[in-house]
């Protein structure tokens, strides 16, 4: 039987029906809140995962940057590298160069490893060749004596991008790391002998000598002498005539 308008108004004003409708709306609202909370929780979990992955990626980039960056230098007159954070030994070796009285060959000084490997087969034996000699101190100082053989250590500074040897200094510029300090060396300048010259190298202030060979045998070869300043074009002051020159090796 059709419901009249008056009966419809009665049904709409029925408390039970209104309570039922209210409960249904409250259930729907609670379901929406639960769905929203679940979505928010899921989004937070996803955000946390994204942040974790981004952090892991950055860590890997930092590790890769450390492995692919760095700077090398040679510590002359020593068998080990300085105890400096981020510095490690690549190899220790023998200092070598051309004979002080021979022209030709190389002009730079080398740090030869203790475990040499053979050159490629087939190199000609009837051609001209260069020569490489071991190095000796030609002066006495602290632990070393004349004719002692000169050691060397090739060092790798992991957290650095560049290295520099600064003559006449024992300290590094601001924000640079001091690896070691010492004194400047070169070949000698003597009027009664022919010396062909060599690089200016920084020998550690606490020099060591090789123990692999006989100590204090005078084989000559590449010789090391301290360096003195000479006034003239070099202004004095700030320098002094015959001043022994210091040196320092720094990394950045």
Judge whether 71 and 161 are in contact, CB under 8 Å: yes
Please list the pLDDT of the chain residue by residue as tens digits (252 residues): 555 555 555 455 667 777 777 778 777 878 888 888 888 878 787 877 877 877 777 777 666 655 557 999 999 999 999 999 889 999 999 999 988 877 777 889 999 999 999 989 988 887 788 889 999 999 999 999 999 999 999 999 999 999 999 999 999 999 999 999 999 999 887 666 677 778 999 999 999 999 755 566 788 889 999 999 999 999 999 999 999 999 999 999
Q: Is the pTM of this model over 0.85?
A: no
- Phi, psi dihedrals of residue 39, rounded to the nearest 5°: -65, -40
Six token digits for residue 107: 């002009």
Q: How is residue 103 written in tokens? A: 């022209």
Which among 118, 119, 70 is positioned nearest to 90, based on CA atoms?
Answer: 70
Report the 10 Å Cβ neighbour count for 194: 9
- The DSSP annotation for 100-144 comes to TT--SS-SS-EEEESS--PPPTT--SSS-----EEEEE-S-BTTB
């Amino acid at each position: 039987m059709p419901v009249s308008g008056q009966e419809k108004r009665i049904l709409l004003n029925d408390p039970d029906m209104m309570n039922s409708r209210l409960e249904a709306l409250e259930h729907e609202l609670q379901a929406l809140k639960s769905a929203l909370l679940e979505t928010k929780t899921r989004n937070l979990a996803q955000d946390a995962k994204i942040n974790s992955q981004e952090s892991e990626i950055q860590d890997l980039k930092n590790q890769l940057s450390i492995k692919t960056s760095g700077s090398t230098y040679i510590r002359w007159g020593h068998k080990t590298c300085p105890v400096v954070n981020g510095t490690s030994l690549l190899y220790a070796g023998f200092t070598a160069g051309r004979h002080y009285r021979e022209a030709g060959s190389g002009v730079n000084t080398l740090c030869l490893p203790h475990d040499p490997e053979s050159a490629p087969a087939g190199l000609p034996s009837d051609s001209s060749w260069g020569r490489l000699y071991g190095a000796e101190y030609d002066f006495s100082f602290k632990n070393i004596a004349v004719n002692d053989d000169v050691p060397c250590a090739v060092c790798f500074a992991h957290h650095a991008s560049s290295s520099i040897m600064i003559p006449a200094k024992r300290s590094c510029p601001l924000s640079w790391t001091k690896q070691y300090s010492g004194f400047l060396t070169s070949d000698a300048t003597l009027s009664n002998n022919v010396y062909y010259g060599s690089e200016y190298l920084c020998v550690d202030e606490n020099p060591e000598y090789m123990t692999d060979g006989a100590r204090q045998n005078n084989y000559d070869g590449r010789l090391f002498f301290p360096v003195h300043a000479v006034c003239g074009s070099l202004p004095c002051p700030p320098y002094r005539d015959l001043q022994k020159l210091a040196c320092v090796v720094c990394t950045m």
